[in-house]
Amino acid sequence: MEIVRSSRRSIASVIDSPPALSFYRSAPSVEVRLEEFELYGIDRLKVLKGISDGLSRGRKPDEMEKLVNELWRANMKHHDASEALNKDIISHFVLRLVYCRTEELRKWFLSMEATLFRYRFRLEGPEIQRALMTNFNLPYKPLSHAEYEGVKEELNQVARSIGASNSADSMFYKVNFEEVPELIATRKVFVHKGYAYVAMNQVVSLVVTQFRSHLSKALALTNRKWMSSIRDLEKDRLTPIIEAMSSSYLGPDYSKPKESAELSLKDIDSVAHTSFPLCMRHLFDKLREDHHLKNGGRMQLGLFLKGAGLSLDDALAFWRAEFSQKVGQERFDKEYAYHVRHSFGKEGKRTDYTPFSCQRVISSPAAVGDHHGCPYRNFSEENLRAALRSMGVAERPMEEVMEKARNRHYQVACMLTFEAVHGCSCDTGVNHPNQYFTLSQKALAARSTGGDRESTV
Ligand code: SF4
Nearest CA to ligand 1 atom 1: 411
Phi, psi angles (nearest 5°) of residue 444: -70, -40
| Maximum mean pLDDT: which of 57-66, 81-90, 181-190 | 57-66
Query: What residues pair up with 33 in beta bridges, in sequence order?
Result: 4
From residue 453, alpha-carbon distances to 39, 275, 445, 450 in Å are: 39, 16, 11, 8
Same domain, 348 and 363: yes
Residue of 52, 279, 363 to test ligand 1 pocket, by largest number of atoms within 8 Å of CB: 279
Among 137, 209, 122, 130, smallest CA distance to 168 is for 130
440 pLDDT band, cuts 50/70/90, is very high
Reduce the DSSP state of residue 4 to 3 states and report it. Answer: strand
Distance from Cα 432 to the centre of ligand 1, integer Å: 7
Number of H helices, E strands in the chain: 23, 5
Which of 85-99, 101-115, 240-254, 437-451 has the lowest average pLDDT?
A: 240-254
Q: What does DSSP say about strands 2-4 and 195-199: parallel, antiparallel, or unpaired?
A: unpaired
Residue 24 binned pLDDT confidence (cut-offs 50, 70, 90): very high
Q: In whole angstroms, give the CA distance from residue 341 to residue 350.
A: 9
When mean pLDDT is compared over 346-350, 412-416, 451-455, the highest value belongs to: 412-416
Question: Of 43-57, 171-185, 256-270, where does mean pLDDT reach its minimum?
Answer: 256-270
Average pLDDT over residues 235-260: 76
* Protein residue with least CA distance to atom 6, ligand 1: 374
Q: Which amino acid is present at 329? A: Q
Instruction: Tell how far the Cα of 57 is from the centroid of ligand 1, in angstroms.
Output: 16
Percentage of the chain modeled with pLDDT above 90: 51
Q: Which domain holds residue 182?
A: 141-202
What is the whole-number distance in angstroms between the Cα of residue 344 and the centre of ligand 1? 22
The single-letter code of the amino acid at 226 is W
Statement to judge: residues 171 and 288 lie in one domain: no
Q: Which of 38-42, 182-186, 356-360 has the lowest mean pLDDT?
A: 182-186
Q: Whose CA is nearest to atom 3 of ligand 1?
A: 433
Enumerate the H helices of 13-80 as residue ranges.
34-56, 61-76
C-alpha to C-alpha distance for 134 and 157, rounded to whole angstroms = 27
Lowest average pLDDT, out of 141-150, 273-282, 330-339, goes to 141-150
Average of per-residue pLDDT across 173-188: 86
223 shares its domain with 88: yes
Angle at CA 184, nearest 5°, toward 183 and 188?
Answer: 55
Average pLDDT, the chain: 86
pLDDT of 11 above 50 = no
CA of 374 to the centre of ligand 1 (A): 5
Mean pLDDT along residues 176-183:
86
The rounded Å distance from CA 444 to ligand 1 centre is 19
Distance CA 290, CA 145 (A): 79
Give the nearest ligand 1 atom to 414 CA.
Answer: 4
Answer whether residue 133 is part of any domain. no
The stretch 199-217 carries a mean pLDDT of: 90
Please tell me the residue having the least CA distance from ligand 1 atom 5: 279
Q: Which atom of ligand 1 is nearest to the CA of 411?
A: 1
Same domain, 339 and 368: yes
* Structure confidence at residue 109 (pLDDT): 95
Q: Which atom of ligand 1 is nearest to the CA of 278?
A: 5
Give the H/E segment covering residue 233.
Answer: helix 231-233
In a domain, 132, yes or no: no
Contact 90, 1 (CB under 8 A): yes
User: Which pLDDT score, from 0 to 100, does residue 12 have?
Assistant: 33
Report residues whose beta carbon is within 6 angstroms of any ligand 1 atom: 277-279, 358, 361-362, 374-376, 410-411, 414, 430, 433, 436
**Is residue 238 located within the same domain as residue 274?**
no
Which residues of 154-237 form beta strands (DSSP E)?
172-176, 190-192, 195-199
In-domain check, residue 457: no
Q: Which residues contact residue 224 at a Cβ distance below 8 angstroms, ignoring those fewer than 6 apart?
A: none
- Residue 310 pLDDT level (bands cut at 50, 70, 90): very high
Please indicate, yes or no, whether residues 303 and 347 belong to a single structural domain of this protein.
yes
For the entire predicted model, the pTM comes to: 0.70
- What is the rounded CA–CA span in Å between residue 121 and residue 208? 9
Considering only CA atoms, which residue is closest to atom 7 of ligand 1?
Answer: 358
How does DSSP classify residue 355?
Answer: P
Counting atoms of ligand 1 from 1, which one is nearest the CA of 374?
A: 6
Report if residue 13 sits inside a domain: yes
Residue owning the nearest CA to atom 8 of ligand 1: 279
Q: How confident is the model at residue 7 (pLDDT cuts 50, 70, 90)?
A: very low
Span from the CA of 359 to the centroid of ligand 1 (angstroms): 8
Confidence of residue 346 (pLDDT cuts 50, 70, 90): confident
- Are 197 and 231 part of one and the same domain? no
> Do residue 290 and residue 424 come from a single domain?
yes
How many A from CA of 404 to the centre of ligand 1?
13
Query: How many angstroms separate the alpha carbon of residue 436 from the centre of ligand 1?
Result: 8
pLDDT of residue 15: 33
- Render 357-422 in DSSP notation, one character per residue: PHHHHHHS---TT---S-HHHHS-HHHHHHHHHHHT--HHHHHHHHHHHHTT-HHHHHHHHHHHHH
Inform me whether the pLDDT recorded for 253 exceeds 70: yes
Query: 192 and 213 in one domain?
Result: no
Would you say residue 251 lies in a domain?
A: no
Ligand 1 centroid to Cα of residue 446, in Å, is: 23
CA 434 to ligand 1 centroid distance, Å? 9
pLDDT digits (tens, 9 = 90+) for 360-378: 899 888 888 899 999 999 9
Does any domain span residue 226? yes
Nearest to 313 by CA among 341, 347, 354: 341
Q: What is the number of domains present in the chain?
A: 3
Full DSSP string of 399-411: HHHHHHHHTT-HH
Question: Do both 186 and 288 map to the same domain?
Answer: no
Residue 444, Cβ neighbours under 10 Å: how many? 15
Q: What is the pLDDT of residue 256?
A: 65
